[in-house]
Each structure stands twice: as structure tokens, then as C-alpha cells.
Structure 1
Amino acid sequence: MRKPAVFIALALLGAAAGALSYRHFAQPKVERATTIAPALSFATLDGKTLALSSLRGRWVLINFWASWCAPCMDELPHLVAAQSNYGSLGLQIIGPALDEPAAVQPLLRRFQINYPVAANFSAGDAAMRELGNDRGALPFSVLIDPDGFVAERVLGGMSAEQLQQLLQRHLGRS
């Protein structure tokens, strides 16, 4: 008499788990970013001020880096290629360096950086922390959607493939 009750209980439990799994996995989950990006401005090396608010309507990838950071140096060519490949789809990369302008200037030429770069350690560090990097580790990238919401954060260097997957996931194009 005990065995049928156990089997019935297990069958009911299995049916409930199946129904919950179906509701969870069978239908696509669209999750909208809920964190709005802070009102940040960057003083670029060409003497301009670039406010995030001026880039509404575009995808913005903010990549925090430094000249002394080896993974940052590995990532720079991928970012230059991404700006070239995805700029027409509305991507704007910004590169605040946690560094001094004198250390960054030669890298602009070496890597042919094609997006705005800022170089102010304390301002970059403060902006990075406002965007969610409380560790202070580099590189750190934040993708902001056209409505000004943080879409994704990436702590650590991205390979060309990882960067492409991130951008394809949000902007499309291969």
C-alpha cells in the first residue's frame, strides 16, 4: 500500500517539475537591462568633453584600460577592428585609460586607435567604479544600449571571438 502512494507522489512531483521546466525553458526570456548608466563625461585626449548622454541612440562600449596592462594591450587591436566593423551599426567605443596622457599618446599611433580616448587615472577609476567595477581590475568593458541602460559588463580581457560574440548578441552582424 505504501509503494503506490510513493509512486503517485513521485509522478505528481515529476509532472510539476516538467510544467515548471516547460514554462522556464520553452519560451524565450527577454530580459531588459534595468540599470541605467550613470551620467558620465570623459575629457578626451583631443581636448573635447564626451558625455555619455550625447551618445543616446547609439550602442556604447566603454573599455577601461591602461598602458601597463598586458591584457589591455592584447585587447586594443580587437576594439579597433570592432569600431571599424560595427560603427555603421551604431556602435561607439570609448577608451578611458587609467594612465597619464604621455603614456597613452604613443599607443594611439601604434594601434591606430579609431575611437575617443581619455587619460586621467582618478577620473577613469571613479567612472569605472560607478559602472560596477569595485575591484579596480583591468581591462573592464561596459556595453550600454541606445536607451542608456547597461546591457553587459565584462571584467577581464576579451579575445576577438568573445568581443565579436558580445557585439553580435546585441547589435547583430557577423
Structure 2
Amino acid sequence: MKKLLLLILTLSASPTFAQTADSAFSISGKIENIKTGLIYLTVYIGGNARKDSSKIIDGRFAFKGFISQPCNAILDIKDEKQDYLRFYADASDMTITGIDYPLKEWVISGSPINADEKKLTAFLAPVKAEEDKYYAAYSQASKNKNQVVLDSLDELEMAMTMRKRTFIKTFVLANPSSDRSAMAILENYGYYAEADEVEPLYEVLNKNVKESKNGETVKKMLDIYKTVAIGEMAPDITQPDTTGKPLSLSSLKGNYVLVDFWASWCGPCRKENPNIVKAYQAYHAKGFEIFGVSYDNEKGTAKWKKAIVDDGLSWKQVSDLQGWKNATSEQYYIKAIPANLLLDKNGKIIAKNLFGKKLTDMLALLVN
């Protein structure tokens, strides 16, 4: 399960990201015990990462430029310690100071969004402790190949996500004027979420945040969620099948249809495939079809076709071979896979994300 401004780099004495909007940012830094060397800034926005470097002179460094919205960023010094500071770049003149290592303990000042991030991090501390325990247990179970424990932990994952969302909701309601609130909505409700979860959070944001780039993205996400909500007709999908021939989802009307978003490179997808195969074998003859949509890219065409054979996926398969830029990513707001939707015989969405036994249980009720 998976997640920033396209920045064109120009190098100068004080590294500068090229202007893409009118919001200027600058970073001034001071390191006590590192007098010379290079420090790197990576900015993530719009699905892209752009990196630049600055010379450290007498323990000081600087970056400046223009960004269209607050975005994730990382500062790191390339050496054997592989240490880094994760923060947010925004339209401010921020100062970053530290002793030397670890970078993650450096202090940021002059940036409203990073001040809000500090508040959110402290607020989420109980959730973070639970997540750390979960991932440690998952790692140990994977190492021991204990499938019973792994399955039980998989069941806990969504419950843990929902618990975190209750914390995020509280934070957003208490901080409606913060850009960090809009980003928190995107980070935590950008997958396996519904319009009725997102709308109350969007509505509470103040006018400036709603009109920001991140606020506009929240609105776009919300609008798409509404079009693909349970009870709505599924938007049609037409993409090439494995032979290159266009195939449409609407051609399967008259059957119960699972729209399955997956990829050959997606481990959780491949792990879920046996459950889907089992459902298909049990209910295909009773009017159940599957429409697989792969998020493989053109270079992965052979791997996509091989995965279909290896996993025994004998149903309809399509892909525009654009990876995460698959047309359905925007059409259905698919930002994490595996994901699926179950449609009734008329093409109406009646359920979502039926993993494990949930799919066969649902089909047993519908078909029988």
C-alpha cells in the first residue's frame, strides 16, 4: 500500500529552485560541529522529487527559491551515517540549527507549518507507539514465516488506520487555518476513504487553506470520492487488454463485477490474488466477473503478463501501462493498491475493498 511542485534546478552559490509560483522560500542553516562539506535538499511535490546541494562554509548553508505549495522536504549529509531531517518547505524564511548528528534533532524556526507539524507529532505520539509495536511484530512474524500471526496483523492494519484518523480529525478540527491540516487530510484520507469521512474535514478548513494548492487537492479528492461512492454508478473504464485490444468495463454489465486494481510489482496485491482466484472459481459460473486493472508501466509489460499466468488470473485484464499515472488513478482516486470495487449487475458500486474472506462472503450473500 502506497504516496510532491515540479522543481527545475539551477545551481548558484546559494542553490535556488526555479520559480514556478510567487511563493518564495528560504532556508538558512547553521551546524556547530560540521564546518565544510555539502548538504542536500530534496523537495517532494506532485509526485516528483527534485534535489539540490549547498556548500557548508564555516558551518553555514543556505537554499532559496519558489514553491507553489507547502511540501515534504528532506535535508541530508551524504556520509556513512545516512542521517536526515524530514520537514516541510513552505513560503517562509526558516532557520535550521543543529550541533551535528543526529540531523533529525535539529531545530526549525520561522516556519508556521513546521510549528504545526511539531504539535501534530506530539499529538500522534500514542498512535506512533502503537505503529512501532505493530511493525516490529510484523517484521518478526515475517522473519519467522508465521502466517497465522501475519494474517491477524493484516486484520489489525485497517483498525490502526482508523484509530489514527480519529486523531487526525481532532487535529484538523482544532487547526482549521493550518496548511498542515490540509496536508494531513491528503496523507491520511488519500486511500481507502469515503466522501463522508473527508467532507466534514474539508468544510471546516478556513478560506485561505481551501484556496491553497493542498486545499484544492483535498476538494478534488472529495469530488472524486463522491462520484465513486457506494450507491453510485461506476465510471466506465476502457483500456487495452493483454493483446492490445480495447476492453470496457461496461461490456461486463449483467454480471456482478469486481474491479480489481493491482500490479505485478505489488507484493500485497500478489498475496491477495489467491483469495480472488478462489472467489472467481466459486462464483464465475453463477454470474461473477472480474475486471483487472494493472498499474504496471510499459517496461513492465512482460512482468504483468507473466504475473497473470503465474497467479492463475483467468479473467479480463487491462492496462494503459502508465504505472501510477494510469487513467483510473485520477478517475477513481486510486492512490494505494490493492484496491477493489464490487458492482451489481447494473454497474452500481455496492462494496469496496473486499479483501481476504470478505469477497467470498459477500458473493455468497448476493449470488446464492
TM-score for both structures, normalised by structure 1: 0.69
Q: 1:47 to 1:112 in 2, by over 3 A?
A: same
Where does residue 112 of structure 1 map in the other structure?
Answer: 312
Q: How many angstroms does 1:70 deviate by?
A: 1.3
Q: How many angstroms does 1:148 deviate by?
A: 1.4
Letter in 2 for 1:47: G
Among the aligned pairs, what percent are the same residue?
A: 28
Residues 55-70 of structure 1: matches in 2 within 5 Å? 55-70=252-267
**Could you report, residue by residue, the CA deviation over 1:131-163 in whole angstroms, capped at 9, with x for unpaired residues?**
3xx351000101111111111111xx721x222
Q: After TM superposition, what 4+ stretches of structure 1 lie above 4 angstroms from structure 2?
A: none
| Highest RCO, 1 vs 2 (Cα 8 Å, sep ≥ 6) | 1
For 1:101, which of 292, 301, 312 is the aligned residue?
Answer: 301
Distance of 1:152 and 1:128 partners within structure 2: 18
Where does residue 144 of structure 1 map in the other structure?
Answer: 343
Q: How many angstroms does 1:76 deviate by?
A: 1.1
Distance of 1:54 and 1:86 partners within structure 2: 19
Q: 1:81 to 1:125 in 2, by over 3 A?
A: same
Q: How many angstroms does 1:48 deviate by?
A: 2.6
Distance of 1:144 and 1:98 partners within structure 2: 20
User: Cα RMSD between the aligned structures?
Assistant: 2.1
1:167 aligns with 2:363: yes
Distance of 1:38 and 1:158 partners within structure 2: 22
1:80 aligns with 2:280: no
Specify the structure having the higher radius of gyration (Cα): 2
Q: Which runs of 5+ in 1 are unaligned?
A: 1-32
TM-score for both structures, normalised by structure 2: 0.34
The 8 Å contact of residues 97 and 121 in structure 1, kept in 2 or not, is answered as: no
Q: How many angstroms does 1:129 deviate by?
A: 3.7
Distance of 1:111 and 1:135 partners within structure 2: 23
Distance of 1:112 and 1:124 partners within structure 2: 26
Distance of 2:253 and 2:241 partners within structure 1: 18
Q: How many angstroms does 1:123 deviate by?
A: 8.4
Distance of 1:56 and 1:135 partners within structure 2: 22
1:42 aligns with 2:239: yes
